[in-house]
């Protein structure tokens, strides 16, 4: 047992190191996208009427007059080591302050979505696997295919049109106020999290169904059937533990989907979250804020992937052997 | 008299061939074909059917139903919604198709080259693609568009490179499997050049999976470009792009107008259509084909 744990620990450490390297790569790509590509941020911020003096002053303030490699080193230092990206070009507030509340709101929206979507999708995935090939399975599959094919804003607008405009049950805009009670918060994020859940569930359903079907095809399942083990026990006690590793991968799926989903969904519902902050920052050329948002989104994605891989290693003894 | 019923077997194609095989396309696939045909038809003839100029203001009222635009009403600027939808079909679908084709050519060429040319090019290209895909697509696109500015070439270029990275991985994996085959060795022994190896040896043998991948990437490109247009970084007003139309009319929802829902539904019909066709073509359990559309 001790030996196995240490091997698992080593695998986890290795995955963590890969994760750190990926975060460095991500920071480099974000730096490259904003600072190396042509396009003068100073001119974009000040507009076409800016005088050469004010342009030069802006470039100096942004540090654009310094050599690229120096700027890259400063960026890595500030972004990854000091977690300080300076001040917003629009409001002059520190980036951390501008991002803080928005991050908290988005985290709460994501948590509500995950609590809504994951249990429902796991149940549908298990049902699909048990009834594989049936009309029910085909129906769930077709619904999932359609849900994943449509744009996020289509689902959002359709939900608003039905539940806010026609029925008037829920608010069309997701307003968040300080001191809001929890039920009031739930009511205001009901439609945004339903939109995200509809986009997220197909991925989890597919993952669960396929993992369970793969586990059900093993010889020991046949053995259990011949032994007369009840059907529910076969699924829950014999197949599910073996399907656990791929199912745990939904941690990565959830984060990957939500990172992309919140940007559009927050914009539709006017939700004061990180996604909308990033869209506004890009539109107003507020580079420090946009960089901070991009870094947070990308890091979340990388960390969730590392976490999913580590959990998969812990859940599956065969993966503990380092390859 | 005529050559009918001559040497060629009268019963061609072989009747057994048809009866013993499953139909080429499931009913789900045929729904997809229908949706795609409808979209293509509207993209071709739509602009001629449109009763009005898509940028002509018909009414001073937003979301109204003046007699000239009585079918779907007007948009937020009092322009005919039906005409804008019909014009938008060609714009939206052609833009996505062009971007997907560019992404596909880039991705397949780079993927094949990486597999054929050997270690260093492979390592270089693979690491670049790994870096690009480590950042969620939409976040990367927003950063690039944020620094290059909003324009159609930037939109096409950004989406094509990001999508091309995903196609690169598929093409490279296919090509690495093919690269060890005898026919590749034979072609190399004949002294064929790189271009011949890629176009005449590899492409014909990888075409099946690549066509499926192209379909998937086409829907994702349409969704990606529409999302960027919806966020305000794609097609700019007054163009009648479907994604941009959703953005400009979304305020109308608060007044009870479904004007934003219609262009969104048009995009949905196109993307569902392509996915159903792929699903029917592959003829597997539908759920296996929930395409991997994650960023």
For B238-253, what is each residue's pLDDT tens digit?
Answer: 777 888 888 888 887 8
When mean pLDDT is compared across A246-250, B111-115, B170-174, B209-213, the lowest value belongs to: A246-250
Of B259 and B228, the one with more pLDDT: B228
The answer on pLDDT for B98 being more than 90 is yes
C-alpha torsion B250→B252→B258→B260, nearest 10: -20
Tell me what pLDDT residue B46 has.
79
The answer on pLDDT for B13 being more than 70 is no
B284 touches chain A (CB under 8 A): no
The answer on pLDDT for B156 being more than 50 is yes
Q: Which residues of A touch B226 (CB under 8 A)?
A: 151, 153
Interface test with B, best of A157, A174, A204, A299 (most B CBs within 10 A): A157
Chain A residue with Cα closest to B261 = A157
Tell me what pLDDT residue A91 has.
74
CA distance A258 to A56: 40
B176 — pLDDT class (breaks 50, 70, 90): confident
Residue A59 lies in a domain: no
Helix A135-149 and helix A95-130, axial crossing angle in degrees, nearest 10: 160
Sign of CA dihedral B141, B142, B146, B152: positive
Q: Please give the average per-residue pLDDT across B92-100, as a whole number.
A: 92
Determine the longest span between alpha carbons in chain A, in angstroms. 85
CA distance A235 to A218: 12
Burial class (CB in 10 A: 0-12, 13-18, 19+), B23: exposed
Which residue is associated with the tokens 């009268």? B10
B133 — pLDDT class (breaks 50, 70, 90): confident
For chain B, positions 9-48, list CB contacts with chain A under 8 A: 28
The answer on pLDDT for A48 being more than 70 is no
The answer on pLDDT for B3 being more than 50 is no
Q: Do A141 and B290 make contact, defined as CB atoms within 8 angstroms?
A: yes
Q: Please give the average per-residue pLDDT across B205-212, as a whole number.
A: 84
Spatial CA neighbour of A185 closest among A176, A173, A195, A196: A176
Q: Do A209 and B291 make contact, defined as CB atoms within 8 angstroms?
A: no
Q: Do B276 and A279 make contact, defined as CB atoms within 8 angstroms?
A: no
CATH number at residue A161: 1.10.3720.10
CA distance A29 to B121: 20
CA distance A13 to A19: 10
Q: Do B132 and A268 make contact, defined as CB atoms within 8 angstroms?
A: no
The answer on pLDDT for A210 being more than 90 is no
> How many CA atoms, within 13 angstroms, populate the side-chain half-sphere of residue A180?
14
The answer on pLDDT for B105 being more than 90 is yes
ipTM rounded to 2 decimals = 0.83
Q: Do A279 and B232 make contact, defined as CB atoms within 8 angstroms?
A: yes
Question: How many folded domains does chain A comprise?
Answer: 1
Residue A49 lies in a domain: no
Q: Do B227 and A264 make contact, defined as CB atoms within 8 angstroms?
A: yes
* Radius of gyration, CA atoms only, chain B: 23
Is the Cβ–Cβ distance between B239 and A116 less than 8 Å?
no
The CA-atom distances, in angstroms, between A114 and each of A30, A200, A250, A258 are 28, 9, 10, 9
Tell me what pLDDT residue A1 has.
47
B59 touches chain A (CB under 8 A): no
Tell me what pLDDT residue A172 has.
76
Is the Cβ–Cβ distance between B164 and B140 less than 8 Å?
no
Q: Do A144 and B290 make contact, defined as CB atoms within 8 angstroms?
A: yes
How high does pLDDT run on average in chain B? Answer: 79
Query: What number of other Cβ atoms are within 10 A of residue B218's Cβ?
Result: 24
For chain A, positions 236-265, list CB contacts with chain B under 8 A: 253, 256-257, 259-260, 263-264
The answer on pLDDT for B70 being more than 80 is no
Of A11 and B230, the one with more pLDDT: B230
Q: Which residues of A touch B149 (CB under 8 A)?
A: 39, 44
Tell me what pLDDT residue B289 has.
47
The answer on pLDDT for A234 being more than 80 is yes
A40 — pLDDT class (breaks 50, 70, 90): low
Q: Give percent of chain B with pLDDT exceeding 70.
A: 84
The CA-atom distances, in angstroms, between B112 and each of A75, B206, B262 are 35, 10, 41
B184-196 pLDDT tens trace: 888 888 888 888 8
Sign of CA dihedral B96, B102, B107, B109: positive
Q: Please give the average per-residue pLDDT across B179-183, as a whole number.
A: 84
Tell me what pLDDT residue A4 has.
59
Q: Which residues of B touch A148 (CB under 8 A)?
A: 275, 290-291, 293
- pTM score, whole prediction: 0.83
Query: What number of other Cβ atoms are within 10 A of residue B69's Cβ?
Result: 21
Q: Which residues of B touch A210 (CB under 8 A)?
A: 287-288
B68 DSSP 8-state letter: G
Q: Please give the average per-residue pLDDT across B268-288, as a whole number.
A: 74
Helix A2-31 and helix B119-134, axial crossing angle in degrees, nearest 10: 80
B17-31 pLDDT tens trace: 444 445 567 778 888
Q: Which residues of B touch A290 (CB under 8 A)?
A: 142-143, 146
Tell me what pLDDT residue A50 has.
72
Tell me what pLDDT residue B28 has.
81
The answer on pLDDT for B37 being more than 50 is yes
Is the Cβ–Cβ distance between A294 and A278 less than 8 Å?
yes
Chain A residue with Cα closest to B134 = A26
Residue A56 lies in a domain: no
A116-150 pLDDT tens trace: 888 899 889 888 888 777 788 888 888 888 888 88
A261-318 pLDDT tens trace: 889 999 888 888 898 998 988 888 888 888 888 888 888 888 888 888 888 777 766 6
B146: nearest CB among A161, A285, A301: A285
B96 touches chain A (CB under 8 A): no
CA distance A280 to B102: 29
> How many CA atoms, within 13 angstroms, populate the side-chain half-sphere of residue A63?
17
Q: Please give the average per-residue pLDDT across A24-46, as a whole number.
A: 74
Residues in chain A: 323
Q: Which domains does chain B have, with CATH numbers?
A: 42-287 (1.10.3720.10)
Tell me what pLDDT residue B1 has.
37
When mean pLDDT is compared across A27-36, A58-67, A292-301, the lowest value belongs to: A58-67
At residue A8, the 3 state secondary structure works out as helix
Q: Which domain holds residue A125?
A: 2-38+85-319
Residue A74 lies in a domain: no
Q: Which residues of B touch A303 (CB under 8 A)?
A: none
């Amino acid at each position: 047992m001790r030996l196995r744990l240490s091997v698992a620990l080593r695998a986890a450490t290795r995955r963590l190191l890969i994760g750190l390297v990926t975060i460095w790569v991500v920071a480099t790509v974000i730096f490259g996208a904003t600072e190396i590509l042509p396009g003068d941020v100073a001119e974009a911020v000040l507009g076409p009427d800016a005088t050469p003096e004010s342009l030069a002053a802006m470039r100096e303030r942004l540090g654009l007059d310094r050599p690229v490699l120096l700027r890259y080193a400063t960026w890595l230092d500030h972004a990854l080591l000091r977690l300080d990206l300076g001040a917003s070009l629009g409001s002059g507030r520190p980036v951390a302050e501008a991002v803080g509340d928005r991050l908290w709101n988005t985290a709460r929206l994501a948590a509500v979505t995950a609590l809504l979507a994951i249990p429902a999708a796991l149940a549908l995935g298990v049902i699909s696997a048990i009834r594989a090939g049936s009309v029910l399975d085909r129906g769930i599959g077709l619904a999932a295919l359609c849900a994943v094919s449509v744009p996020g804003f289509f689902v959002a607008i359709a939900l608003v049109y039905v539940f806010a405009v026609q029925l008037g049950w829920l608010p069309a805009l997701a307003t968040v106020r300080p001191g809001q009670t929890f039920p009031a918060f739930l009511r205001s994020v009901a439609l945004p999290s339903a939109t995200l859940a509809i986009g997220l569930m197909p991925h989890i359903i597919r993952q669960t169904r396929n993992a369970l079907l793969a586990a059900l095809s093993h010889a020991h399942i046949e053995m259990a059937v011949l032994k007369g083990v009840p059907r529910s026990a076969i699924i829950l006690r014999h197949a599910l533990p073996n399907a656990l590793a791929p199912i745990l991968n939904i941690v990565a799926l959830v984060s990957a989907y939500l990172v992309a989903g919140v940007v559009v969904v927050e914009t539709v519902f006017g939700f004061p979250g990180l996604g909308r902050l990033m869209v506004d920052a890009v539109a107003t050329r507020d580079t420090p804020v946009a960089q901070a948002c991009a870094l947070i989104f990308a890091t979340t994605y990388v960390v969730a992937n590392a976490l999913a891989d580590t959990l998969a290693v812990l859940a599956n003894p065969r993966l503990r052997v380092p390859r | 008299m005529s050559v009918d019923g001559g040497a060629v077997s009268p019963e061609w194609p072989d009747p057994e061939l048809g009866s013993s095989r499953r139909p080429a396309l499931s009913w789900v696939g045929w729904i997809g074909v229908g949706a795609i045909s409808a979209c293509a038809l509207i993209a071709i003839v739509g602009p001629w059917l449109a009763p009005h100029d898509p940028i002509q203001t018909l009414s001073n009222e937003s979301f109204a139903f003046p007699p000239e635009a009585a079918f779907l009403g007007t948009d937020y600027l009092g322009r005919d919604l039906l005409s804008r939808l019909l014009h938008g079909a060609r714009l939206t679908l052609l833009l996505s198709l062009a971007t997907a084709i560019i992404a596909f050519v880039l991705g397949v060429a780079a993927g094949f080259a990486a597999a054929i040319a050997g270690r260093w090019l492979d390592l270089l290209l693979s690491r670049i693609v790994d870096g690009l895909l480590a950042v969620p697509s939409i976040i990367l696109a927003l950063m690039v568009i944020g620094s290059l500015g909003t324009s159609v070439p930037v939109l096409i270029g950004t989406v094509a490179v990001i999508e091309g990275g995903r196609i690169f991985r598929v093409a490279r994996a296919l090509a690495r499997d093919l690269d060890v085959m005898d026919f590749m060795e034979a072609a190399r022994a004949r002294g064929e050049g790189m271009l011949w190896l890629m176009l005449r040896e590899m492409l014909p043998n990888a075409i099946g999976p690549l066509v499926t991948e192209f379909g998937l990437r086409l829907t994702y490109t349409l969704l990606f470009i529409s999302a960027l247009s919806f966020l305000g970084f794609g097609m700019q007003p007054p163009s009648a792009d479907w994604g941009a139309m959703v953005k400009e009319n979304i305020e109308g929802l608060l007044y009870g107008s479904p004007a934003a829902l219609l262009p969104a539904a048009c995009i949905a019909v196109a993307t569902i259509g392509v996915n159903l066709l792929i699903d029917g073509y592959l003829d597997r359990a539908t759920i296996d084909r929930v395409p991997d559309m994650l960023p």
